[in-house]
Amino acid sequence: KAGVTQTPRYLIKTRGQQVTLSCSPISGHRSVSWYQQTPGQGLQFLFEYFSETQRNKGNFPGRFSGRQFSNSRSEMNVSTLELGDSALYLCASSLDSSNNSPLHFGNGTRLTVT
């Protein structure tokens, strides 16, 4: 079974631009969660999607948004990029709600904002 696939692996953007990251979950997994990982803040929860609905949202500004498609694939978008948005963005899928099911992470997208 293929694992969680995230694209692209690396991205370099400049301040003010916007970016879209993609995540394909493990086949059969209905929940997709997104996390931001930085050395200083660790793993910070962004949002969770289940059956195309956002179930939970973390404490991030409205510039961070996401969606999930009918095939469970998910995208997250960051608009008006800031230097502080530079981070590893990790997507994780699970069979059911992330509250009870183990998360399976992708390799992440490394975003650098200059």
Footprint (CB under 8 A) of other proteins, residues 18-47: 33, 35, 42-43, 45
CA distance 21 to 69: 14
Identity (one letter) of the amino acid at 50? Answer: F
At which residue do the structure tokens 């694939």 appear?
A: 73
CB of 66 to other proteins, least distance (A): 14
Burial class (CB in 10 A: 0-12, 13-18, 19+), 96: exposed
Question: Interface with other proteins includes 53 (CB under 8 A)?
Answer: no
Question: Interface with other proteins includes 56 (CB under 8 A)?
Answer: yes
CB of 76 to other proteins, least distance (A): 16
Question: Interface with other proteins includes 58 (CB under 8 A)?
Answer: yes
Q: Residue 98 CB: number of other CB atoms within 10 A? A: 19
CA distance 28 to 71: 9
Question: Interface with other proteins includes 98 (CB under 8 A)?
Answer: yes
Q: Which is nearer to other proteins, 55 or 67 (CB)?
A: 55
Question: Rule CB under 8 A: which residues touch other proteins?
Answer: 33, 35, 42-43, 45, 48, 55-56, 58, 90, 92, 98-100, 102-108
